[in-house]
Structure 1
Amino acid sequence: MSLALRLADEADKITTARFRARDLVVERKPDRTPVTDADVAVEDAIRAVLAAEAPDDQVAGEERGGTAGAGRAWVVDPIDGTKNFLRGVPVWATLIALVVDGVPVVGVVSAPALGRRWWASAGGGAHTRDALGERAIAVSGVRDLSDAYLSTTHLGTWGEYHSREAYLALVDACWENRAFGDFWQHCLVAEGAIDVAAEPIVNPWDVAPFQVLVTEAGGRFSDLSGVARFDGGNVLSSNGHLHEAALKVLAENR
């Protein structure tokens, strides 16, 4: 955990210096998603620290590649929410997870433009830091979908990767919905501000820290078939009470 927090500190130095910079360099990757010079600089800085501090560990990052096989692997998204970052929207974060034999055991999410950081370790609970200080966090106690607060990232991806009708059925089953998007919605689930977050398409580095963050906060994290994994290509995080009900709605309306 100490090393993960240090990695987040290094990332914050770079991202805050480059956020809203007039000379920010933006390119497109083969999948047409944007990447900035800050994304690459953050991942390179994290890899440099890990090479010195944990040279035997694997590293899998969004920009430089790599895999998280057996043993210890660090899974890194240097800037989750790059589209927000390059537009000057302050909702973006660096995501860092230590995965051991395929299971995340340490997770850190650092969103310096929001003044927020979240972290968790297996057996160590989930925590956050904001303007009010540091505190332990826990999921909500909402037990009925009709009382639930729901979030996703981009509605358009449901039609392409899963089922737009299924997600809209889940919207109709819930009390309120928003698109907080990307990292933030899963952090909000962990701290009990919202109850369910669903995404039809994700990469492993997009969600690795949330498996440990949400579960240590007392919630549940799985793919859309209900399997507890971060590399299934889609994800549902919840306060646990609502998980099976949300999975059922999504399955029945595909």
Structure 2
Amino acid sequence: MPPVTPEQDLELAIRIADAADAVTHDRFRATDLRVERKPDRTPVTDADVACEDEVRRLLAEARPDDTVLGEERGGTAPDAGRYWIVDPIDGTKNFSRGVPVFATLLALVVDGEPTVGVVSAPALGRRWWAARGTGAFTSDVARGIAAAPIGVSAIADLGDAYVSTTDLDYWREIGARDRWVALTEATWESRAFGDFLHHVLVAEGVMDVVAEPGASAWDLAAPAVVVREAGGRLTDFAGTDRIDGGDALSTNGLLHDAVRAIIRPA
């Protein structure tokens, strides 16, 4: 059997995202939605589990030799080879409260490097996707856009930058709230769009910087491909190209070092 190309893997990921959207859309704002608490006190709904199970089923059919790592069902990432990372609902707190800002994140990692990423937000009518070497794209149902290339901003002065984080409490928990405050004071505007959304907005050139002090591999694998293929950078706070460092910095690339000097001083 000939090797699978990144384009073929991306095509599969998009088909699976369609199936995932059907699951989450059906359960969004459902009156019988079941919400429980995981040991870390974060919420999980019956839709999270059902969505991940459907993604795993489809991957098992199409790529039976690939490993799957998921937020809800777990798994172990191999040291080498191919594996998929799925976050069935990124933004479960939003989903459980009826806020439409949530997405399914699906990524393929090959020999430790994310190579395919799809971020699908059905309640927003938006999707973002990329594969290594192919560029990044988006669709927008409301605007009638089926597929449009995207790219990061050209903002080169930190004083003109539009920045986002997830929650100020994350900075407080790591004893670094003063660093976030310092970043907001050095930039034009700050927001807390959070989760997947601010990373893909960096890829679109709408945001310039995302500093996220608490993030897991399943939160970052898919956005990392989209941001990088759009011309930006997604690293940990130390500047290393990784998705498992526990934190994440997304920028248009031009601002990366300036931001790092503030949030991770020597």
Shorter-chain TM-score: what band? Answer: over 0.9
Match of 1:34 among 17, 20, 43: 43
The percentage of counterpart residues that share the same residue type is: 62
The one-letter amino acid of 1:223's match is D
Q: Alignment partner of 1:107: what SS?
A: strand
Match of 1:2 among 7, 11, 25: 11
1:226 aligns with 2:239: yes
The structural deviation recorded for 1:24 is 0.1
- The match for 1:66 is 75
Measured on the aligned residues, the alpha-carbon RMSD in Å equals: 0.9
Q: Alignment partner of 1:252: what SS?
A: coil
- The match for 1:213 is 226
Cα separation, 1, equivalents of 2:155 and 2:185: 17
- The match for 1:119 is 129
TM-score normalized by the length of structure 2: 0.94
Q: Alignment partner of 2:75: what SS?
A: coil
- The match for 2:7 is none
Match of 2:168 among 155, 159, 165: 155
CA contact (8 A) 1:152 1:179 kept: yes
- The match for 1:16 is 25
Matches within 5 A, 1:175-254: 175-252=188-265
Q: Alignment partner of 2:130: what SS?
A: strand
The structural deviation recorded for 1:212 is 1.1
CA contact (8 A) 1:94 1:110 kept: yes
Structure 1 stretches of 4+ with a deviation exceeding 4 A read none
Give aligned pairs, total.
Answer: 253
CA contact (8 A) 1:107 1:119 kept: yes
Match of 2:65 among 52, 56, 72: 56
1:78 aligns with 2:62: no
Cα separation, 1, equivalents of 2:175 and 2:193: 19
Q: What do residues 31-68 of structure 1 show as CA deviations (whole Å, max 9, x unaligned)?
A: 11100000000000000011111010000000000122
Q: What do residues 141-176 of structure 1 show as CA deviations (whole Å, max 9, x unaligned)?
A: 000110000000001110113511111111111100
The one-letter amino acid of 1:76's match is V
The one-letter amino acid of 2:91's match is G
Q: What do residues 156-208 of structure 1 show as CA deviations (whole Å, max 9, x unaligned)?
A: 11011351111111111110000000000000000000100010011110111
Q: Alignment partner of 2:33: what SS?
A: coil
Cα separation, 2, equivalents of 1:187 and 1:46: 22
The one-letter amino acid of 1:48's match is R
The one-letter amino acid of 2:131's match is S
Cα separation, 2, equivalents of 1:252 and 1:78: 35
The one-letter amino acid of 1:147's match is D
Unmatched tracts of structure 2, length 5 or more: 1-9
Q: Alignment partner of 2:19: what SS?
A: helix
CA contact (8 A) 1:98 1:106 kept: yes
Give the 3 Å change call, closer, same or farther, for CA 37–110 of structure 1 in structure 2: same
Q: In terms of mean alpha carbon deviation, does 68-77 or 119-128 score higher?
A: 68-77
Cα separation, 2, equivalents of 1:4 and 1:137: 19
Unmatched tracts of structure 1, length 5 or more: none
The one-letter amino acid of 1:37's match is D
CA contact (8 A) 1:161 1:201 kept: no
CA contact (8 A) 1:162 1:200 kept: no
TM-score normalized by the length of structure 1: 0.98
The one-letter amino acid of 1:118's match is W
